[in-house]
Amino acid sequence: MHDHDQERTILVLNSGSSSLKFGLFAPSADDETLLLEGAAEGIGRTDGRLRIKAADGRVLLQQDQKLDSQTEALQQLSQLLVQQHRARPSAVGHRVVHGGPRLRTHQRITDDVRRQLLDALHFAPLHIPPALELINEATQIFRDATHYACFDTAFHATLPPRAAQLPLPRRYADAGVIRYGFHGLSYESLVKQLGAALPSRAVFAHLGNGASLCALLDGRSVDTTMGLTPTGGIPMGTRSGDLDPGVLLYLMRAERLDADALDTLLNRQSGLAGYADGESDMQALQKSAANGDAHASLALDAFATGVRKTIGGYAALLGGIDLLVFTGGIGEHSAEVRRRVCDGLAFLGLVEGDPAGKVRVLHTEEEKQIARHCRELLQAGES
């Protein structure tokens, strides 16, 4: 590695509620090359661990230890980068789930951007505080780098008004209460991977603990299942997805639940976990269902049906579907879920394992996609 290249590395940080995933990328001919990746998991718990791997899968560092905070994980990471690559990244890219109404494009992080993120707090109370904290810590630790925010909502800025605007008085839309959509970086990475092979009418299904679908016309998002927040859409691991709004009114009146209690109920105790008495892990659910557990079976059925109904609706919206792509942890690894989803879509020509290839499984590359955006922004800033 030339000294010049060493200085051109981009560090990508992808923070979850109790985890921090990261990747270090260097420029290659016409894309980004992964140098090392890893994750700090179980932050704040006693069974925490930090693992860093080289691109070829070699483990460079594995520590089972209590990591008190993301800061601690970041400091360890920065030490390792200096040791392994004698390098400080020239840019750091942050995945930000929600930027609120005004932050809809990937951009350099300035004081103004931080202020706007703070203003957008109530749009994503679970996601924005840890993201801001991480940004503040990373700018201290990686002082020489330029920091960029990449938003999971940016890809859906192309939604037409009929998809973006909610059936509420218009003053709410003016205040930013609209459909934002999420998993945008994942969807962008699929568009990039497919390149010229992406047909005009496509549906992407990002199925993980959080799950959403997106309808694409000529590579642009025209509809998506998640809404104002990542709680909307199909039932997920622990999130309810869409509900009759009357259910919330009922819970507020009959059970006197306040916003915080509703938040916990809808985001942490519902979805598959609601159907299956607290179990939200797809592998565990499949195993239980195979052993005759009716609740697990119902959870699987409801999940697959939610996905299938959405695909049917998007077929009507797009006037047909030329390609269906599954991605995300469940989408990539659960043949059972893919089979259940496609069972009944043969009339659309969508058949799992079809040699004509209208149904595909692709690995999402969110971190790489963030690195690509950072590289473009970095170069644009220099020119």
The pLDDT tens digits for 177-218 are 999 999 999 999 999 999 999 999 999 999 999 999 999 999
Whether 147 and 70 map to the same domain: the answer is yes
Whether 205 and 342 map to the same domain: the answer is yes
Predicted TM-score (pTM) of this structure: 0.94
332 is in an annotated binding site: yes
Q: Which of 134, 151, 168 is the last residue of a domain?
A: 151
Q: Exposed (0-12), middle (13-18) or buried (19+): which is 240, by Cβ within 10 Å?
A: buried
Whether 267 and 127 map to the same domain: the answer is no
207 is in an annotated binding site: yes
What value does the CA radius of gyration of the chain take, rounded to a whole number of Å? Answer: 21
21 is in an annotated binding site: yes
363 is in an annotated binding site: no
136 is in an annotated binding site: no
Distance CA 262, CA 282 (A): 24
Q: By C-alpha distance, which of 250, 300, 311, 312 is closest to 271?
A: 300
333 is in an annotated binding site: yes
Own/partner pairs for 40-46, CB < 8 Å, 24+ apart?
A: 40/67, 40/70, 40/73, 40/76, 40/77, 42/18, 42/67, 43/18, 43/19, 43/67, 43/68, 43/69, 43/70, 43/73, 44/18, 44/68, 44/69, 45/18
pLDDT at 1: 43
pLDDT at 314: 98
Residue 4 has pLDDT above 60, yes or no: no
Active site includes 258? no
Whether 146 and 208 map to the same domain: the answer is no
Q: Which of 93, 118, 151 is the last residue of a domain?
A: 151
pLDDT at 2: 46
Q: Mean pLDDT over residues 71-81, rounded?
A: 85
Residue 5 has pLDDT above 80, yes or no: no
96 band by pLDDT with thresholds 50, 70 and 90? very high
Residue 339 has pLDDT above 90, yes or no: yes
On whether residue 171 sits in a domain, the answer given is no
Residue 322 has pLDDT above 80, yes or no: yes
Contacts of residue 324, Cβ cutoff 8 Å, sequence gap at least 6: 202, 203, 205, 311, 342, 345, 350, 358, 359, 360
3 band by pLDDT with thresholds 50, 70 and 90? very low
Q: What is the mean pLDDT of the chain?
A: 93
Whether 218 and 330 map to the same domain: the answer is yes
Highest mean pLDDT among 26-40, 65-79, 157-171 belongs to 157-171
On whether residue 156 sits in a domain, the answer given is no
Note the Cα 128 to chain centre separation in Å. 14
Instruction: State percent of the chain over pLDDT 70.
Output: 97
pLDDT at 72: 85
Q: What is the pLDDT of residues 273-317, one digit of tens each?
A: 999 999 999 999 999 999 999 999 999 999 999 999 999 999 999
pLDDT at 383: 61
Whether 99 and 200 map to the same domain: the answer is no
Contacts of residue 166, Cβ cutoff 8 Å, sequence gap at least 6: 172, 173, 177, 178, 179, 227, 228
On whether residue 173 sits in a domain, the answer given is no
On whether residue 357 sits in a domain, the answer given is yes
Whether 133 and 218 map to the same domain: the answer is no
Residue among 152, 218, 260, 322 flagged as catalytic: 152
The phi, psi pair for 324, rounded to 5°, reads -120, 125
On whether residue 378 sits in a domain, the answer given is no
- Amino acid (1-letter code) at residue 195: G
pLDDT at 306: 98
Q: Which residues of 9-46 are buried (b: 16+ CB within 10 A; e: fewer)?
A: bbbbbbbbeeebbbbbbbbeeeebebbbbbbbbbbeee
Edge-first strand order for the sheet with 20-27 is: 59-64, 49-54, 32-41, 20-27, 10-15, 91-96, 146-151, 107-108
Whether 43 and 104 map to the same domain: the answer is yes
Distance CA 149, CA 107 (A): 6
Q: What angle do CA 24, 28, 29 make, to 5 degrees?
A: 160
Number of structural domains in the chain = 2
Whether 292 and 347 map to the same domain: the answer is yes
Q: Mean pLDDT over residues 361-376, rounded?
A: 96
278 is in an annotated binding site: no
366 is in an annotated binding site: yes
208 is in an annotated binding site: yes
Whether 235 and 104 map to the same domain: the answer is no
Whether 146 and 227 map to the same domain: the answer is no
184 is in an annotated binding site: no
* Domain region containing 201: 196-361
279 is in an annotated binding site: no
On whether residue 160 sits in a domain, the answer given is no
Q: What is the CATH number of the domain that holds 288?
A: 3.30.420.40
7 band by pLDDT with thresholds 50, 70 and 90? low
- Bridge partners (DSSP) of residue 148 are 93, 108
47 band by pLDDT with thresholds 50, 70 and 90? confident
Distance CA 205, CA 220 (A): 15
Whether 218 and 125 map to the same domain: the answer is no
On whether residue 216 sits in a domain, the answer given is yes
On whether residue 7 sits in a domain, the answer given is yes
Contacts of residue 22, Cβ cutoff 8 Å, sequence gap at least 6: 11, 12, 13, 14, 37, 38, 39, 77, 367
State the sign of the Cα–Cα–Cα–Cα dihedral 87, 93, 95, 96.
positive
The single residue listed with the structure tokens 């879920």 is 337
Q: Mean pLDDT over residues 136-160, rounded?
A: 96
Whether 369 contacts 185, CB under 8 Å? yes
Q: Mean pLDDT over residues 28-33, rounded?
A: 91
Give the Cβ contact number of residue 79 at 10 Å.
Answer: 12
pLDDT at 86: 66
